[in-house]
């Protein structure tokens, strides 16, 4: 379904300010947004930390404050769990083959805690509602809802596999077979002895669920914006086909497409202002996590134990999928933005026969599309692009190559351990 250029999509934050809250247009708009993001909101509510949907309802103020308190309590438990993991790793001074996986678990919990903090901040500032209002485009791509549902299914299928393998690891460690899964059972003792480790497990699982939910929200917003841009680009290719050779009609069509592109650019900036810190934090913490998961996997291969190999393989897959989720959608958004230049330059109906007014408008259009900072950024430092993904992967491989030079040597003087790691450069 092509993007309709006769009624370009208006910036919805402006609509909400200019239309009365009880007007038919406002009610219709709210219902459209609720319908498009219905499943998304259900997932966010399942985290137990979503309270922004109750903020504007005066009749539910007690329920709103209950949700706020609940969110902060869950966040506090996640902070305690993360602090305990760091304390245990540093205080135990146990640097063996379980250390790498302990650092992986700590990094995952750290990512989950950061995600919870950012999620609460978004809601306190009303960013999620603003994001829905700006991403939703009434005349946009009709497949956006399908894309959202596909993204939810894919990410939570992966999360199900991840939870299954994590549960297997915890059960084996609980049964006293932690050496087979390269897992330190002491990580579960944040609330006391082994009998209370179920509390740590539940807090850990909840934090990971919140983390996956927010990552899914980030991915589907990126894909929704990408599809709107792709549909716009398709409509841009059709410029000049209605009445070939009519310069006035061509100028009118180009002007309408330019206005629509400006509004789409505003939507991208809203998404960037919401996600820039989140993207920076997640990509920054994903790099060491991926390195340690790969190190754990290579140690499992070195041990020739199939149990260790099977347990460590999903960790690597999950980190790679997370990196793809964090970078693929923003990179595709940037690619769709830059595609405008090639589409305009490649449309001969714009350039021949020569018309100065059309030429100037097309040049302004291209200049607007080539803004260097238009896209999802890493806290404003760099736009997430395909070359940036390659750079990130190269950086990960470089550090992994260095860590793989670490040799494990037997040390008979080490108590309660068969080996200790000595950092020897080969």
Q: What is the pLDDT of residues 300-346, one digit of tens each?
A: 888 878 878 888 888 888 898 899 999 998 999 999 999 999 999 99
pLDDT score at 111: 96
- Residue 416 binned pLDDT confidence (cut-offs 50, 70, 90): very low
For residue 421, list its beta bridge partners.
Answer: 408
pLDDT score at 139: 57
Report which of 249, 218, 401 is spatially closest to residue 322, judged by C-alpha positions: 218
The pTM of this model reads 0.84
3-class DSSP assignment, residue 8: coil
pLDDT score at 23: 67
Higher pLDDT, 82 or 303: 82
Task: Tell me the C-alpha distance between 46 and 105, whole Å.
Answer: 23
Task: Tell me the C-alpha distance between 77 and 81, whole Å.
Answer: 6
Residue 3 lies inside a defined structural domain of this protein: no
Higher pLDDT, 24 or 20: 24
- Of the given ranges (149-158, 336-345, 355-364), which has the lowest mean pLDDT? 149-158
Task: Tell me the C-alpha distance between 401 and 295, whole Å.
Answer: 10
The answer on pLDDT for 11 being more than 70 is no
Residue 369 lies inside a defined structural domain of this protein: yes
Rank 15-19, 193-197, 274-278 by mean pLDDT and report only the highest. 274-278
Task: Tell me the C-alpha distance between 252 and 187, whole Å.
Answer: 65
pLDDT score at 414: 42
Q: Which domain holds residue 189?
A: 12-422
DSSP letter, residue 188: G
pLDDT score at 177: 67
- Of the given ranges (242-246, 250-254, 378-382, 407-411), which has the lowest mean pLDDT? 407-411
Task: Tell me the C-alpha distance between 44 and 51, whole Å.
Answer: 9
CA end-to-end distance (rounded Å), the chain? 60
Residue 5 lies inside a defined structural domain of this protein: no
Q: Can you tell me the mean pLDDT for 370-378?
A: 90
Task: Tell me the C-alpha distance between 110 and 311, whole Å.
Answer: 21
Angle, helices 306-346 vs 386-403, to 10°: value is: 150
Counting other chains too, the contacts that 186-190 makes at CB distance below 8 Å and 24 or more residues apart are: 186/88, 186/92, 187/85, 187/88, 187/102, 187/105, 189/88, 190/80, 190/81, 190/84, 190/85, 190/88
Residue with tokens 């005066």: 58
Residue 302 lies inside a defined structural domain of this protein: yes
The two tokens of residue 20 are: 């009365």
pLDDT score at 120: 96
Rounded to the nearest integer, the mean pLDDT of the chain is 81
Rank 11-20, 302-311, 361-370 by mean pLDDT and report only the highest. 361-370
CB contact set of 305 (below 8 Å; sequence gap of 6+): 180
Residue 264 lies inside a defined structural domain of this protein: yes
Burial class (CB within 10 angstroms; exposed 0-12, middle 13-18, buried 19+) of 15: middle
Higher pLDDT, 25 or 331: 331
Residue 7 lies inside a defined structural domain of this protein: no
Number of independent structural domains in the chain: 1
CA angle 391-394-400, nearest 5°?
145
The answer on pLDDT for 7 being more than 50 is no
φ/ψ of 31, rounded to 5, equals -65, -40
C-alpha dist (Å) from residue 66 to 9, 42, 51, 210, 240: 37, 18, 9, 18, 57
The answer on pLDDT for 425 being more than 60 is no
Task: Tell me the C-alpha distance between 179 and 85, whole Å.
Answer: 19
Task: Tell me the C-alpha distance between 330 and 377, whole Å.
Answer: 8
Task: Tell me the C-alpha distance between 95 and 423, whole Å.
Answer: 11
pLDDT score at 270: 93
Report which of 154, 110, 166, 86 is spatially closest to residue 287, judged by C-alpha positions: 110
Report which of 283, 296, 324 is spatially closest to residue 103, judged by C-alpha positions: 296
Residue 66 lies inside a defined structural domain of this protein: yes
Residue 4 lies inside a defined structural domain of this protein: no
- Of the given ranges (194-203, 204-213, 406-415), which has the lowest mean pLDDT? 406-415
**Tens of pLDDT, residues 233-272:** 998 998 888 777 788 888 999 999 999 999 999 999 999 9
3-class DSSP assignment, residue 119: helix
Task: Tell me the C-alpha distance between 293 and 105, whole Å.
Answer: 10
Residue with tokens 């009519």: 246
Return the sign of the alpha-carbon dihedral for residues 305, 306, 309, 314: negative
């Amino acid at each position: 379904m092509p993007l309709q250029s006769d009624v370009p999509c208006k910036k919805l934050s402006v609509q909400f300010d200019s239309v009365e809250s009880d007007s038919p247009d406002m009610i219709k708009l709210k219902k459209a947004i609720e319908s498009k993001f219905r499943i998304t909101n259900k997932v966010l509510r399942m985290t137990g930390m979503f309270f922004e949907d109750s903020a504007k309802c005066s009749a539910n103020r007690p329920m709103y404050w209950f949700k706020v308190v609940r969110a902060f309590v869950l966040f506090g438990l996640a902070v305690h769990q993360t602090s305990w993991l760091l304390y245990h790793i540093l205080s135990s001074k146990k640097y063996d083959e379980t250390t790498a996986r302990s650092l992986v678990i700590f990094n995952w919990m750290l990512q989950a805690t950061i995600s919870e903090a950012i999620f609460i901040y978004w809601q306190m500032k009303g960013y999620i509602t603003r994001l829905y209002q700006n991403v939703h485009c009434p005349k946009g791509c009709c497949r956006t809802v399908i894309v959202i549902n596909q993204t939810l299914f894919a990410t939570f299928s992966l999360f199900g596999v991840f939870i299954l393998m994590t549960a297997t690891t915890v059960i084996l460690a609980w049964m006293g077979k932690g050496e087979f899964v390269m897992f330190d059972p002491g990580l579960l003792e944040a609330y006391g002895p082994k009998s209370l480790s179920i509390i740590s497990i539940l807090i850990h699982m909840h934090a990971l669920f919140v983390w996956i939910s927010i990552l899914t929200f980030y991915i589907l917003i990126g894909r929704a914006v990408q599809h709107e841009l792709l549909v716009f680009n398709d409509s841009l290719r059709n410029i000049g086909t209605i009445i070939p050779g009519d310069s006035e009609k061509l100028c009118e069509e180009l002007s309408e497409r330019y206005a629509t592109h400006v509004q789409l650019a505003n939507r991208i900036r809203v998404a960037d202002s919401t996600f820039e810190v989140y993207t920076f934090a997640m990509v920054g913490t994903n790099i060491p996590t991926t390195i340690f998961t790969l190190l754990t996997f290579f140690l499992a291969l070195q041990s020739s134990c199939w149990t260790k190999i099977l347990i460590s393989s999903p960790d690597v897959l999950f980190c790679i999928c997370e990196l793809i989720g964090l970078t693929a959608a923003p990179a595709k958004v940037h690619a769709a933005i830059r595609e405008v230049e090639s589409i305009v330059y490649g449309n001969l109906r714009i350039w021949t026969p020569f018309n100065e007014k059309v030429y100037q408008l097309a040049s302004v259009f291209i200049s607007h599309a080539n803004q260097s900072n238009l896209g999802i950024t890493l806290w404003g430092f760099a736009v997430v692009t395909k070359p940036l993904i390659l750079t990130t992967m190269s950086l990960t491989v470089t550090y992994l190559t260095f860590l793989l030079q670490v040799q494990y040597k037997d040390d008979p003087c080490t108590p309660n351990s068969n080996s200790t790691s000595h950092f020897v450069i080969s």
